[in-house]
Amino acid sequence: MKQPEEIFEYLKNEFGEDQLSFESGDIGQPWILVPAALIRNVSKFLRDDSELRFNTLMCLSGVHYEKEEELGVAYHLHSTELKHTIALKVRVPIDEPNVPSVESIWKTADWHEREAWDLLGVKFDEHPNLKRILLPDDWEGHPLRKDYVQQEFYQGITTGE
Amino acid sequence: MKEIVHDTENRQMTINMGPQHPSTHGVLRLELDIDGEIVINVRPNIGYLHRCFEKHAEKMDDYSKIVPYTDRMDYVSAMNQEHGYVLAVERMLEIEVPERVEYIRVIMAEMQRVASHLLGIGTFGLDLGAFTPFLYLFTEREKILDIFERTSGARLLYNYFAIGGLIKDVHPDFKKDTAEFVKTFRPKIKELNDLLSTNRIFVQRTANVGVLPAKVALNYGASGPVLRGSGVKWDLRKNDPYSIYDRFDFDIPVGQGEMGTLGDCWDRYNVRVLELEQSLRIIEQALEDMPDEGDVTEAVPKRIRPKEGELYARTETPRGELGYYIISDKSGSPYRVKARAPSFVHLGILPAISKGALIADMVAIVGSIDIVLGEADR
């Protein structure tokens, strides 16, 4: 069992000093900020390394950082074998929201990435079936963005009150 | 006129199961690619019950106003949903809740687990043609709902847990009623085993059907009885204890492949049956140790303003791991709330375990993962 700080040090040795950074708020849990291009390699390493063995992705959530004009994806991992957990985060500019998919590493990501695409518009590259999951296929926009404006009509029906 | 061409080579056909289908437990649509009676592929379609929980949560001006929304996610185990959410916010505020509150919460959560499993098991039997057990189990579930109603005023959507405590104290006869329920309910588990668990038709419909190997289950993020049915001993109440679960003595039942293959529908069903007894054990211990006096609203904060930060808090609901990922930006309303619902994750496993099954077995497979669409669609 490793603490998040130890996991960060361990990853730093593998992926280089200046690629990853360790961040935290005033309360709650810390996370490791990973460049989008590296997320798949880091994930694979986290899953397969014998000292980490993160065999399960608990949760994948999209976030819209309005002030920074960025979209974020938070990955919460845990290991049922070694019983430790870690959070990773990727941030990408909103006008080019491409993040490599981790579907091939953890199957949980399949539906969660579809949800993040549906509600926030994060584009997951190489996802086998990236289409809307909760909303109808022909819905416009991504509702969980902070600046979302609901379409007035959906198939001729008013959506307002 | 257009000529109709009969394609005799390609026998594959796509049909819809649902969204209005008695065994989809709500509004779920399964697109089935079939060859005769054999399912070649299945594509679950969800979203029919999407009510924008996460967007609503961001728009609320107070963290406590979100509690009733969590009730409506998994509406058959509302107490557990509230428990997960209030624990997450309490961790953000770094507040301790009184002993008495912890005990009442655990009793409520475990009673709710029993009620939810009774519904899950009952409807699972019902899907497979066993009508009688359903009625027996609902009679018992009703007794639990009566206790909840006397305390919170509601039968299904309670809004009973508050951040930092409870809305109000339990009703005066709560201890007596609950102890009475535990006593009368215990013999019924044996009755259920005689009536359903070992019933030959039921076993033939569920054993060796929808086998989920442990490795696949973990890779798909399964949790709760679905994961334990595959033989993985993993329960957040033991492995990542929250509230006061570390004080109680109980076991984690896992699937053994008794009737067929490890991880089949029967194993998942049986884990739920065995968990009934474990929940009763926790309730008994909690009733014994619960302090009689104490104000349950004393730690409820007047103003809820967490500092900047984020966390992912998870609890074990009857269906599995319920996680809340909350980001606070120091204002009165959360910047982002994401609910990780076990039903959502488990529905994603369906394609992996139903290839090659018969259409009739799809009913058993969907029933065995015990989904609630309110939670999957949020």
Dist CA A59 CA A50 (whole Å): 22
3-state secondary structure of A93: strand
Whether the per-residue pLDDT at B117 is higher than 90: the answer is: yes
Going by the DSSP 8-state scheme, the letter that residue A142 receives in this structure is -
First and final C-alpha spacing in chain B: 47
Whether the per-residue pLDDT at B114 is higher than 90: the answer is: yes
User: How confident is residue B8, by pLDDT bands cut at 50, 70 and 90?
Assistant: low
Residue A145, domain member (yes or no): no
Dist CA B288 CA B144 (whole Å): 19
pLDDT of residue B322: 92
For A76-115, write each residue's pLDDT tens digit. 998 888 888 899 999 999 888 899 999 899 989 999 999 9
Mean pLDDT of B32-61: 88
Q: Which CATH architecture has domain B42-307+315-377?
A: Orthogonal Bundle (1.10)
Whether the per-residue pLDDT at B10 is higher than 80: the answer is: no
User: How confident is residue A74, by pLDDT bands cut at 50, 70 and 90?
Assistant: very high
Dist CA B19 CA B45 (whole Å): 9
Helix, strand, coil percentages for chain A (3-state, nearest 5): 25, 30, 50
For B316-367, write each residue's pLDDT tens digit. 999 999 999 999 888 888 999 999 999 999 998 999 898 888 888 888 898 8
pLDDT of residue A80: 86
Dist CA B52 CA A135 (whole Å): 10
Whether the per-residue pLDDT at B5 is higher than 70: the answer is: no
Whether the per-residue pLDDT at B103 is higher than 70: the answer is: yes
Q: Considering its fold, how many domains does chain A have in total?
A: 1
Q: A80 and chain B: CB distance < 8 Å anywhere?
A: yes
Q: B28 and chain A: CB distance < 8 Å anywhere?
A: no
Chain B residues close to A83, C-beta within 8 Å: 239-240
Dist CA A160 CA B20 (whole Å): 27
pLDDT of residue B294: 80
Mean pLDDT of A9-16: 82
pLDDT of residue B283: 92
Q: Where are the domains of chain B?
A: 42-307+315-377
Phi, psi of A150 (to 5 degrees): -70, 140
pLDDT of residue B15: 87
Any idea what the CATH number is for the domain that residue A120 is in? Answer: 3.30.460.80
Q: Determine whether the interchain pair B321/A58 forms a contact, defined as Cβ–Cβ distance below 8 Å.
A: yes
Note whether B312 and A58 are within 8 A (CB).
Answer: yes
| Token pair listed for B267 | 């194993």
User: How confident is residue B1, by pLDDT bands cut at 50, 70 and 90?
Assistant: low
Q: Is A95 exposed, middle or buried (0-12, 13-18, 19+ CB in 10 A)?
A: exposed
Q: Determine whether the interchain pair B323/A56 forms a contact, defined as Cβ–Cβ distance below 8 Å.
A: no
Which of A63, A106, A135 is closest, CB to CB, to B219?
A: A106
Residue A74, domain member (yes or no): yes
pLDDT of residue B274: 92
- Exposure on the CB side of residue B303, measured as CA atoms within 13 A: 5
pLDDT of residue A114: 92
Dist CA A81 CA A103 (whole Å): 21
Chain A residues close to B221, C-beta within 8 Å: 56-58, 106-108
SS (H, E, C) B167-187: CCCCCCCHHHHHHHHHHHHHH
3-state secondary structure of A158: strand
pLDDT of residue B6: 64
pLDDT of residue B106: 92
For B299-314, write each residue's pLDDT tens digit. 888 888 888 888 899 9
Q: B46 and chain A: CB distance < 8 Å anywhere?
A: yes
Dist CA B280 CA B181 (whole Å): 10
Distances (CA, A) of B246 to B102, B234, B283, B309, B378: 12, 15, 14, 27, 30
Residue A65, domain member (yes or no): yes
Report the residue of B242, B254, B338 to disrupt the A interface, i.e. the one with the largest count of A CBs within 10 Å. Answer: B338
pLDDT of residue A161: 65
Dist CA B179 CA A104 (whole Å): 49
pLDDT of residue B2: 65
Dist CA A6 CA A46 (whole Å): 13
Report the residue of A44, A68, A78 to disrupt the B interface, i.e. the one with the largest count of B CBs within 10 Å. Answer: A78
Q: A131 and chain B: CB distance < 8 Å anywhere?
A: no
Q: Round the average pLDDT of chain B to a whole number and report it.
A: 88
Mean pLDDT of B157-167: 89
The shortest C-alpha distance from B311 to chain A (Å) reads: 5
pTM for this predicted structure: 0.88
User: How confident is residue B195, by pLDDT bands cut at 50, 70 and 90?
Assistant: confident
Determine the structural domain holding residue A80 and report its residue range: 4-134
Per DSSP, chain B holds a count of helices (H) and strands (E) of 14, 8
Note whether B78 and B108 are within 8 A (CB).
Answer: no
Residue A140, domain member (yes or no): no
| Token pair listed for B86 | 């209030």
Mean pLDDT of B263-271: 91
Mean pLDDT of B198-222: 89
Q: B327 and chain A: CB distance < 8 Å anywhere?
A: yes
| Token pair listed for A27 | 């309360």
| Token pair listed for B271 | 């884990």
Residue A40, domain member (yes or no): yes
Q: Determine whether the interchain pair A108/B314 forms a contact, defined as Cβ–Cβ distance below 8 Å.
A: no
The H-or-E segment that residue A33 falls in is strand A31-33
Q: Determine whether the interchain pair B323/A58 forms a contact, defined as Cβ–Cβ distance below 8 Å.
A: yes
Whether the per-residue pLDDT at B64 is higher than 90: the answer is: no
Report the residue of B43, B254, B310 to disrupt the A interface, i.e. the one with the largest count of A CBs within 10 Å. Answer: B310
